[in-house]
A and B are shown apart, each in its own frame.
Chain A
Amino acid sequence: MYIVVPIKQVPETGNVKMDPETGTMIRSGSEAIINPLDLYALETALRIKEQIGGRVTALTMGPPAASKVLKEAIAMGCNDAVHLSDRAFGGADTCATSYTLACAIRKLEHVDLIVTGEHATDGDTGQVGPALAAWLGMAMVTYAAKLLEVEETHITVERLVEEGYQKVRARLPAVLTVVKEIVVPRLPTLAGKKRTLHAEIPVWDAKTLDADPSLLGLKGSPTRVVRIETPKITRNTTIVKVSEEFPASDAVDQLLRFLKDKNLLG
């Protein structure tokens, strides 16, 4: 089975700067890591490979420094990796991102399964997986929480939905998006890290992809971030302190009144 895992490099949280002009992220300066939820996608792919045989390729679209996360993926056990990098890819929304990834996956040929994380910790849309399925005309299985059966032609999983767990069977090729429950990711091994020293990671640009330039990057993005605000967290706080002069019963009284005024009781 040939499996591709798209992974995203994200800034370590708490360390994100936004460009107020373009509404896009400023990546330089903050330490980039592999999107934590993508480790679950990688682990899922590696387990399937170990179970029924095959090959796993990690794929990322991102600036030159993003090759670091691909090395990590190889250290975990991926066979190889492809890095999509070109100025023309910059400023992409999920539509343009998924298009670019789809072009690369078409070029990789004979892909049976694509495994993505549930969402990225920065952009946080969770849209890239299902959008990929649409570009590639593949079936999609989202929020997979448990692998039940993997065959050469089908995959059966339990999905985490609002009501509980839904069991579905999908014909391959398909896009699978996974939630944390599905597996516990392994740590890279020393042998794996050694392998990355010799790993050649090809960098593909827009030309290599044979992509339609009008669908790439900021130009190919139907959405525009027009404003970024830090939510105001200074509220008009009512402070009530319990003390000897002001016992808990009086404080509770005030709280109940407050809740009642806000229409929050019964």
Chain B
Amino acid sequence: MHDVWTLAECHGTTLKDVSYELLAWGRTLADSLRCKLCSVVIGDIPDDEIRLLFTYGADCVYVVTHEQLGWSGHEVYVNILTGLSEEHKPEIFLGAATTSGRSIFPALAVRLRTGLTADCTELSIEEKSGNLLQTRPAIGGNIMATIKTPEHRPQMATVRAKSIRHLPADSSRKGEIVRVPWNPAWQDERVTVLGTRKEHSDQGSIMEAEIVVAGGKGLKKKENFRLIEDLAHALGGQVGATRDAVDRGWKGYPHQVGLSGKTISPRLYMGIGISGAVQHMAGIKTAECIVAINADERANLLRVADFALVGDLFEIVPELLRRLNLALDLALDFVLEDGST
């Protein structure tokens, strides 16, 4: 049996978290198929960091470095991965559903003449056939489609960030680092990266956040949106908003959740003063846990919530903040016990 591969994602000289999440999916697949789990690193990553890939589940890491890489477009990555895949013939190849993974993988799949499933949130091995079952949300999150690539190899998928937690670190795990010599045929200078402008409006960050606290029209005015921001801060999360809140200028478009905004899959989504229109729900269907706070007990969002709090947000949120801020200083248990007496 050929191996399961993941493409580690580099940011400068570090690996992004999603690289370890891919290993968590990869590990279960490799274990069911009884094969090795390998990761490919393309970039200038220090050895200590590469070994972290073993700590989080990899058996083997292929490393490709070259001084031009930092300035290269996606073509070079596609060339490298085509070369490596043709040589080693992985059974499964997973990438992250990030701007780079979603650019490199579709081109790679065509070069390898195989299929690619986009944006998966669930992966497993089909019992009898040993095929990869790839599940993904489509049509604005309204359906979940399960897709197979029965006759082509590798079976390829991009996987959404935060669709799984990385495995617990096991520093006793060891693996093999394979340094791949540079092949001049990989060079491609048609696209040159000229620089990056950092954006502080935390673009994209709600898509990667573990906790998203979102506010809607129920907040009534811009100043009140502070409550949402403070609560997000206290919980260590990011701020989301409905389109109505964004249209009113209470929060920027990068924070909009839903059909015409972002699709998020946090561990916790908290919707406050949000009715739960279908277009908003399209963005939160893959959230693990939904908490809703709404004055109207018929609000749609309450019906899909794991925890539904019916009441006035202007009474509930300040109380919640007070308790959480206390908890920042004191042990949480203490606050809970204190509050329940």
Interface residues of A (CB under 8 A from B): 13-14, 16, 18, 23, 93-95, 98-99, 121-131, 133-135, 139-143, 156, 158-171, 174, 221-231, 233-242, 248-249, 251-253, 255-260, 262, 264-266
Contacts and interface: CB of A to CB of B under 8 A. Distances in A.
B267 A124 contact: no
Nearest to A159: B99
B319 A248 contact: yes
Interface stretch (B38-46, B61-69, B168-176, B303-311): B303-311
Contact of A140 (B75, B289, B312): B75
Contact of A255 (B78, B137, B188, B309): B309
A238 B308 contact: yes
Q: Is the interface of A mostly helix, strand, loop or mixed?
A: mixed
Contact of A163 (B192, B199, B308): B199
Contacts of B104: 130
Interface in B293-341: 297, 302-312, 315-316, 319-320, 323-324, 327, 332, 335-336, 339-340
A158 B10 CA distance: 20
B259 A13 contact: yes
Contacts of A127: 102, 105-106, 109, 116, 118
B149 A264 contact: no
Contacts of B193: 166-168
A134 B111 contact: yes
Interface in B117-162: 117-119, 133, 137-152
B180 interface: no
Given A127-B102, A160-B99, A161-B204, 6 more contacts: A121-B140, A124-B138, A143-B103, A163-B198, A238-B308, A265-B327
A239 B109 contact: no
A180 to B, nearest CB: 9
Q: Sort chain B's interface into a size bin.
A: 35 or more
Contacts of B187: none
Contacts of B73: 139-141, 168, 170
Interface string B78-90: 1000000000000
A22 B78 CA distance: 32
The list of the 6 closest CB pairs from A to B, nearest first, reads A242-B311, A222-B115, A164-B199, A223-B115, A125-B118, A134-B110
Interface string B176-193: 000000000000101111
Contact of A131 (B110, B148, B315, B336): B110
Main secondary structure, interface of B, reads mixed
A255 B307 contact: yes
A121 B138 CA distance: 8
A265 B328 CA distance: 11
Given A225-B145, A226-B147, A249-B319, A162 B139 contact: no
Contacts of A122: 138-139
B309 A16 contact: no
B336 A260 contact: yes
B209 interface: no
A9 to B, nearest CB: 15
Nearest to A171: B190
22 contacts: A23-B145, A95-B116, A99-B110, A124-B137, A125-B119, A127-B105, A130-B103, A142-B99, A163-B11, A168-B191, A170-B190, A170-B191, A170-B192, A227-B145, A231-B144, A237-B308, A241-B297, A253-B336, A256-B336, A259-B291, A264-B211, A264-B267
A257 B110 contact: no
Contacts of A166: 193, 195-197
B106 A229 contact: no
Nearest to A240: B309
B116 A260 contact: no
Interface of B: 11, 73-75, 78, 98-100, 102-111, 113-119, 133, 137-152, 188, 190-199, 203-204, 208, 211, 235-236, 259, 267-268, 278, 281, 285-286, 289-291, 297, 302-312, 315-316, 319-320, 323-324, 327, 332, 335-336, 339-340
A86 B86 CA distance: 33
Contacts of B267: 264
A218 to B, nearest CB: 12
A231 B141 contact: yes
Nearest to B82: A134
A140 B75 CA distance: 8
Nearest to A215: B113
A266 B329 CA distance: 12
Contacts of B141: 231
Contacts of B335: 256
Contacts of B281: 233
A239 B285 CA distance: 19
Contact of A169 (B74, B192, B339): B192
Contact of B196 (A124, A135, A164): A164
A123 B309 CA distance: 35
Nearest to A264: B268
A94 B297 contact: no
Contacts of B78: 134
B143 A229 contact: yes
Nearest to A148: B194
B331 to A, nearest CB: 10
Given A123-B138, A139-B75, A228-B145, A242 B98 contact: no
Contact of B194 (A131, A161, A168, A227): A168
